[in-house]
Structure 1
Amino acid sequence: MHAFLASLRVAAATMVVCVGVYTSAVWALAQGVAPDAANGSLIVAEDGTVIGSRQVAQGFTEPGYFWPRPSAVDYNGAGAGGSNKSPASADLADRAAQTVTEHGAATDRPLPADLAAASGSGLDPHISEAGARYQVARIAAARDIDPAGIERLIDIAAFAAGGILSQDRIVNVLELNLALDAL
């Protein structure tokens, strides 16, 4: 019986340290070092309402907006994950074909791969710079604005995901769409 009680005390102490102390320390450190990221990288409107997060994709389907990558989880942050379908899956091929059709891709103007393929989490908030530029004509026609203005927005918003070590540039779809609305 003595060994059993000692085991319970060790288990309780371990839970207090690992669950309570460690979690509180990590939370406090995150709040001190990067409070915006620790609290979800939220984008808040002037009236205080939350528009979205810089870190979670949202589904835009109207022609006057940039469209994100497809999502296997319908952009639901609580259910992040891929489709777990094989690259040989007919369902996956059908979804990709539908996406290519929705974007109006043609053989002389192929769709950038990131616009046809979902990310591993289904929640990637970024698309490639090429993916953004691919959508300029559709957006300019829907908004009846000069495509050069949209191209300038992409130039401003694009950044190298890997810092100076990366040549590939990406853009955040939500931030780009908010910039479009501000035009």
Structure 2
Amino acid sequence: MEEKQSIMGPIIRMSLFLMVICGIIYPVAVTGIAQTISPAKANGSLVYDENMNVIGSELIGQSFSADSYFHGRISSIENNGAGSGSNNYAPSNADMIKRTLDSIEEWKKNNPETPVSEVPNDLLTNSGSGLDPHISPGAAYAQVKRISKATGIDQSKLENMIKQHTQGRELGMFGEEKVNVLQLNLALKNMLN
């Protein structure tokens, strides 16, 4: 009995010590460092309008459905960033095939002047997280005709805007070029005003 008590004392003390270190001190220190070094990123990379109202985040994709705006990737979560993920369907899954065919039909309806064969896959499929705020530059260029027709803005101006908002590869070699849809649509909104 004494042996069990002598073992339990150090176990309890070590557990309390680790709870204080890992559950209180470490999170407070990391949060403090993040808020000091990069407060915008630490607070979620929020995007504000001219009245300082939060309109979104650079890190979470939003659905845009108006013809006059660029559309992002298909989302599995429908504007709810509380969770992420997709159904992880295999390419042969019937639900995945139906969703893709529905996306193709939606594209044809909204963009009759751009053939489906010219549409990058990222406009017809969702990302692994379902939260991706980016599309490929090709996906943005594929929408130019529709947006030009809806807004009256010259296609060359829209293409130039896409070029200005295209982000390069990370460190010049990792990933692909991408365009943040929210930032692009904010620039488009400013162009319309």
TM over 0.5: yes
CA distance in 1 between counterparts of 2:183 and 2:20 reads 41
1:44 maps to: 48
From the superposition, tell whether residues 87 and 5 of structure 1 become closer, same or farther in structure 2 (CA, over 3 Å). same
Q: 1:106 aligns with which of 115, 138, 149?
A: 115
Q: 2:32 aligns with which of 28, 35, 44?
A: 28
1:169 to 2:177 alignment:
yes
RMSD of Structure 2 on Structure 1 (CA): 1.6
Q: Would the aligned equivalents of 1:65 and 1:177 in 2 still touch at CA under 8 Å?
A: yes
Aligned residues: 182
1:8 maps to: 12
Q: Which amino acid aligns with 2:135?
A: I
Q: Would the aligned equivalents of 1:42 and 1:50 in 2 still touch at CA under 8 Å?
A: yes
Normalized against structure 1, the TM-score is what? Answer: 0.92
Identical amino acids, percent of aligned pairs: 38
2:159 maps to: 151
**Shift of residue 46 of structure 1?**
2.1
CA distance in 2 between counterparts of 1:71 and 1:131 reads 15
1:83 to 2:87 alignment:
yes
Gaps of 5+ in 1: none
From the superposition, tell whether residues 150 and 49 of structure 1 become closer, same or farther in structure 2 (CA, over 3 Å). same
Greater C-alpha Rg: 2
**Shift of residue 2 of structure 1?**
4.2
Normalized against structure 2, the TM-score is what? Answer: 0.88
